[in-house]
Structure 1
Amino acid sequence: MVKKQSPLRIIPLGGLDGIGKNMTAFEYQDDMVLVDAGLMFPDDEQPGVDLILPDYTYVLENEEKLRGIIITHGHEDHTGALPYLLMDLGRKVPVYSSKLTLGIIEGKLAEHKINSPKFREVKNGSHLNLGAFSIDFFSMTHSIPAALGVYMRTPAGSVLHTGDFKLDQTPIDGVTPNYQAINRFATQGIDLLLSDSTNATRPGFTPSESAVGPQLRHIIKNAPGRVIVASFSSHIHRLQQVCDASVAVGRKVVVTGRSMVTNTKIARELGYLKISDNDIVDAYDIGDIPDDKIVVLCTGSQGEPMSALARMANGDHKSLTITADDTVIISATPVPGNEKSVQSIINALSKIGCQIFDKSNTLVHVSGHGSQEELKLMLAMTKPRYFMPVHGEAVHLRAHAKLAESMGMKPSHIFVADNGDTLEMRGGKVSWGKPVDSGVVYVDGLSVTDANPVVFRDRQKLASDGIVTCVVTVQLRSKRVGDVEVACRGVSFADDDQLLSEAQASVKDKIAAGVKQDGANLDQLRKTARNSLSNFLWNKTHTRPMVIPVVMEV
């Protein structure tokens, strides 16, 4: 009897249901490698939540197999879950990435007061063996320097993971995608390709990052007062172009916003962001510098309410306030779900009267992800036998699958997966495997919890309808009812004393009737109080606030 060959299992734990929380496990027998550990930011459906992580329970259950964690680049959607994962792992697992990415991760771990794990620097051309995995790294262009793709070979077959990429021929740092390595891997054979799908619905090519520089310089040179540039703090290429334009026209650069200060410091120390000490000024030391000699680099491109840009716009920043003479550049695209927040910031800035530039009126931003023609070029270069689109919402994954079909790939060789689905590879052939449990984990303050729809439903109800409490005292033995107190928050009738008095009388009548029934108990009386108050408010106000009854025996 021929023994069945052990499969390579490809297990996406995140990244296939939106732009964020990317995490994929690769498992062969007793060895496992994890690629990326990212997070996602909440939307209006998750009120009160700070961060959303992939459910990495499967990794913890098999942590004795985990040989290493590979991080393709330094963005939050690929690194943000790492502090939580490292805290939950029972042993130190080496983390492999580029020098810049490890620097960003180290700063992130310091915020969480986590001792640095086993950092292992890799770069373009690096090779390492992790158990049954033979892994090669190659450079890719993205909106952050030192982004890497991964090619791994196992006894069951080979996989190429592009990471996030676009095919930029004129990158700011001069580091182009390593086409030679990609073609060499294609010659050796790529059984499965995992490729970035973010811009799979966008035709053509994504413009080069260098296309933004001339526009930034033109705006900065001709602005009458200060120029405030809001960007992702990890977009080092963009920050470099802002710095170059500022220095060229004789302006000093001010950096504000916690993550912006941290990331520019790390990038300068590691040599990825080049600007002299003389050209950077502390936000508290700009008093004597004319406004037309200042450029402010800040966070807030996504409309975050506590960001530096939001605080400046609202007059809450400790050292900087935006005036009508200033020029604001929002050098980013809103992440899906952040459109309202960004528009709110733009409206606040418009009321001040300053001039505003964003991607809708000037070329001050280009995407870091390849559009359709670049995705097709990647498919053409790699010539994979099988293909799984990654990194995107369902519409992006399916659009990417259609691109592969248009290039002649058989539909049966294309796997549009969801988080938790598993692919199995044997002898270079890929098929569906048995799914694993997957989902999301919410970071809510200091607590990390599983998704609980009841909590979110309650929070949404509180936000939309408010809360009413009633406190009732009863004597079950003598069947007497004491005073009833009704208090409310977040309701339109909070100051209507007559309505609240009628509500108290209504509840008291119902409780008085309930307490006289045989077998009356506190649980029944609480239900009576809730139902009577809820019905009364609906009849009088046509609103249904959350009602919390408190019935006490005295």
Structure 2
Amino acid sequence: MSNIKIMPLGGVRENGKNLNIVEVDDEIYVLDCGLKYPETELLGIDIVIPDMTYLEENADRVAGIFLTHGHADAIGALPYFLKEHDVPVFGSELTIALAKITVSSEPKLRKFQNFHVIDANTAIDFERAIVSFFKTTHTIPGSLGIVVKTDEGQVVYTGDFKFDQSAMPMYQTDYARLAEIGKQGVLALLSDSANAESPFATANERDIAESILETFKYQTGRIIVASVASNIMRIQQVIDAAYKTGRKVVLTGRDLEKIVRTAMKLSMIILPDDDILVQPKDLSTLAPEQTVILETGRMGEPIKALQKMATSHHRLIHIEEGDLVYLTTSPSHAMETILAKTKDMIYRAGGEVKAVGDDLHASGHANKNDLQLMLNLMQPKFLMPVQGEYRQLAAHADIAHETGMDYKDIFIVGKGDIVAYEKGKMHVGGQVDATDVMIDGSGVGDIGNIVLRDRKLLSEDGIFIAVVTIDRKNKKIIAEPKVTARGFVYVKTSKDLMAESAEIIKNAVQNNLDNKEFDWSHLKQDVRENLSHYLYEQTKRRPVILPVIMEINQNHRRQRKDNKPKAEKAAE
């Protein structure tokens, strides 16, 4: 009998950052290794990745990393694990091609070659389990679900999926394979929950393609299409609509061009005309009615790029009167406020905004009916909803209950929870570290809650800096306190406030110098407290106060006194 443990290190009770571990005896199978983009309160943070401490401590037991598809929420965290641990990575042809692009951003990994292309017919026989795959429908070709077959039954991970009866061949789900997996017996199903609470039927991709074409037909000015870079299906639909309406497509950004060129090389984006794509430098040669600008922004997210266009800060494109900004990707709930502000900026600049979601419910994730069909095909003993915030996981649990599953067989877990299968029963037993790891520039995990708190304070009330030089031996302040502020008040119009602040600092420092038991930390704390109290009384603001206390070097002063007479004699 095998000991089976399932541990989600990300992707539960949150959107994105998918990483699940299936542990069979002493072998570890990693299902996806993704990132998520930061929410508004994570000031200055570029991306967030899972805490992979458990994987790093047990890297010698990792049989492989198995990827479901090529979006950042499934492959984005790969460089941060692979740069320290050489483990095999498995995925479909396009998924591996995009994973190579992602990994190449890390200098240490430019020679990393441990990639393995698999397909829906592949089965890999490891020591403790057999890993196989099945085709799913998502917004990118080569999407696969993963099956880990053990002595106790199969653990199935759907990845991102939906059912679309009209999907093109390269996007089609293999229903026969799903039924076959279900007949063989599914111990646990880890299933996509991102669209579980939506009451709407998801539009099929043919209807979405028709809607995009209709929009292009009746627009007389430029069309700026905002999309996620790795949404290959949507990019193909935009290119097709541009061709049918006599327009050319301009790709902006290196991320987008790399992804499109990679998909073209693998025949997963088909150009209806070799001249359909135009370089950004040739944009000025196109008439507005001939132009489609495809914008994805940095790291594949278009919203900030649209803001720059609307405020004339974009390096290539400024939104003008008559432009249509067409949103072809539905943003997450966390982005709704930012999106509303972005729309306002676009209208102020003279443009208009339209979204695919205005007329159709477009999603790459399973709705209620899709989730129930998956459950009925798989017939799992146990269900673990993944890939969604808590309310979405809970909605998925209710959907499963409607199909006849008992709530006690459904596990809504948190990051790091260990779900163990022992003696025919599954239960939550224990936990591993699984906090968020924040990436800021080249720093990995060096930004914690204290730094974020300080950034929040700095963004709200600014900083106040006080510099004082003291002679501790003689208990004197050598130089008058110098005060300055950034993001707090305009210094030139607040001279009285600054002068009084300097006096408060002077008194607090002198009081500490006069104290027999002088303590540096106590001195700085006194300065902070006295100054904070005064500044709040005067302004109702609490800036970050940074006292800088400098002490003169007594030995240096004595040396200069000793040398001075000798220097004078020499001069005489």
Please say whether Structure 1 and Structure 2 have the same fold, judged by a TM-score greater than 0.5.
yes
Whether 1:536 and 2:534 are equivalent positions in the alignment is yes
CA deviations on 1:336-372 (whole Å, 9 max, x unpaired) are 3222322222112101222221145344x61100111
> How much does 1:536 deviate?
1.5
Residue 564 of structure 2 is matched in structure 1 by none
**Distance in 2 between residues matched to 1:128 and 1:511, nearest whole Å:** 71
- Which residue does the alignment assign to 1:165? 161
> What secondary structure is seen at the aligned counterpart in 1 of 2:430?
coil
Q: 1:204 to 1:545 in 2, by over 3 A?
A: closer
Deviations 1:262-305 (A, max 9, x none): 11111111110001421111111233332211211111485543
Which position in structure 1 is the counterpart of 2:252?
Answer: 256
CA distance in structure 1 between the aligned counterparts of 2:213 and 2:393, rounded to whole angstroms? 37
How has the CA–CA distance of structure 1 residues 342 and 270 changed in structure 2, closer, same or farther, with 3 Å as cutoff? same
Contact kept? 2:2, 2:150, Cα under 8 Å: no
1:408 equivalenced with 2:410 (yes/no):
no
Identify the range of structure 1 (189-198 vs 171-180) with the bigger mean alpha-carbon deviation. 171-180
Deviation per CA, 1:171-199, whole angstroms, max 9, x where unpaired?
24553211100100111111111110111
Q: CA deviation at 1:455?
A: 1.1
Out of 325, 328, 337, the position equivalent to 1:328 is 325
User: Is structure 2 residue 480 aligned with structure 1 residue 486?
Assistant: no
Paired amino acid for 1:35: L
More off after superposition, 117-126 vs 225-234: 117-126
The answer on 1:107 being equivalent to 2:110 is no
- The answer to whether the 8 A contact 1:206-1:367 is kept is yes
After superposing the two structures, state which structure 1 stretch, 54-63 or 283-292, moved more.
283-292
Which of 315, 333, 338 aligns to 2:335? It is 338
1:218-237 pair list within 5 angstroms = 218-237=214-233
Residue 455 of structure 1: aligned partner = 451
Q: Which residue of 2 aligns with 1:279?
A: 276
In structure 1, the gaps of 5 or more residues are none
Per-residue CA deviations over 1:147-167 (Å, capped at 9, x if unaligned) read 101122112321111111010
**2:291 aligns to what?**
294
Distance 2:245 2:508 in 1: 77
- Secondary structure at the aligned position of 1:260 is classed as helix
Change (3 A) 1:498 1:217: same
Residues 1:97 and 2:94 aligned together: no
Q: Output the CA distance in 2 between the equivalents of 1:353 and 1:57.
A: 50
Choose the corresponding residue for 1:81, options 55, 68, 77: 77
Paired residue for 2:29, among 15, 28, 33? 33
SS at match of 1:234: coil
1:142 aligns with 2:135: no
Of 62, 65, 70, the match for 1:69: 65
Cα offset for 1:204? Answer: 4.7
Map 1:130-529; keep pairs closer than 5 Å.
130-173=126-169, 175-275=171-271, 276-300=273-297, 304-305=303-304, 307=305, 309-359=306-356, 361-363=358-360, 366-426=362-422, 429-449=425-445, 452-482=448-478, 483-495=480-492, 496-529=494-527
Cα distance in structure 2, aligned partners of 1:157 and 1:15: 24
Q: Which amino acid aligns with 1:354?
A: G
Higher normalized helix content (fraction of residues): 2
Offset, 1:244: 0.7
Q: Give yes or no for contact 2:145–2:156 (8 Å, CA) kept in 1.
A: yes
Contact 2:28 2:64 in 1 (8 A): yes
Question: What SS class does the counterpart of residue 264 from structure 2 fall into?
Answer: helix
Q: Distance in 1 between matches of 2:301 and 2:113?
A: 31
1:427 Cα deviation after fit = 6.3
Moved more, 472-481 or 295-304: 295-304
Count of aligned pairs between the two proteins: 545
CA distance in 2, matches of 1:552, 1:160: 63
Measure the CA separation in 1 of the matches of 2:485 and 2:157.
55
Structure-2 separation of matches of 1:158 and 1:172: 29
Letter of the 1:352 counterpart: A
Identify the residue that residue 20 of structure 1 maps to in structure 2.
Answer: 16
Question: For the Cα contact (< 8 Å) 2:463–2:543, is it kept in 1?
Answer: yes
Report the AA paired with residue 550 of structure 1: V
For 1:47, the equivalent position in structure 2 comes to: 43
Helix, strand or coil for the counterpart of 1:48? Answer: coil
Instruction: Name the residue aligned to 2:555.
Output: none
Alignment match, 2:563: none
Whether the 8 Å CA contact 1:10–1:423 is kept in 2: the answer is yes
Deviates more, 1:148-157 or 1:386-395: 148-157
Shift of 1:26: 1.1
Amino acid at match of 2:336: E
Q: 2:549 — aligned with what?
A: 551
* Superposition deviation, residue 515 in structure 1: 1.6
Task: Write the letter of the residue equivalent to 2:510.
Answer: A
TM-score in terms of structure 1 length: 0.95
Change (3 A) 1:409 1:450: farther
- Mapped to 2, the partners of 1:449 and 1:542 lie a distance apart of 34
- Residues 116-127 of structure 1 correspond to what in structure 2 (within 5 A)? 116-127=112-123
Which amino acid is the alignment partner of residue 17 of structure 2?
Answer: K
Q: Secondary structure at the match of 1:88?
A: coil
Look up the SS of the partner of 2:285 in the other structure: coil
Q: Hey, what's the Cα distance between the residues in 1 that align with 2:424 and 2:71? A: 32
SS at match of 2:268: coil
Deviation at 1:398, TM superposition (A): 1.0
Q: Specify the SS of the correspondent of 1:297.
A: strand
Flag the structure with larger Rg: 2
The 1:451/1:485 distance shift into structure 2, 3 A limit, reads: closer
Q: Which has the larger displacement, 310-319 or 454-463?
A: 310-319
Letter in 2 for 1:523: S
Q: Secondary structure at the match of 2:358?
A: coil
Query: Percent same amino acid among aligned pairs?
Result: 34
Return closer, same or farther for 1:287/1:480 CA change in 2, 3 Å cut-off: closer
Q: 2: distance between equivalents of 1:450 and 1:158?
A: 39
Distance 1:151 1:479 in 2: 74
Structure 1 distance, partners of 2:135, 2:423, is 28
| CA spacing shift, 1:506–1:219, aligned 2, 3 Å | same
Q: Which amino acid aligns with 1:338?
A: M
How far off is 1:117 after superposition? 3.1
Offset of 1:100 from its aligned partner?
A: 0.7
1:81 is displaced (CA, Å) by 0.4
* CA positional deviation for 1:65: 1.0
Change (3 A) 1:204 1:463: closer
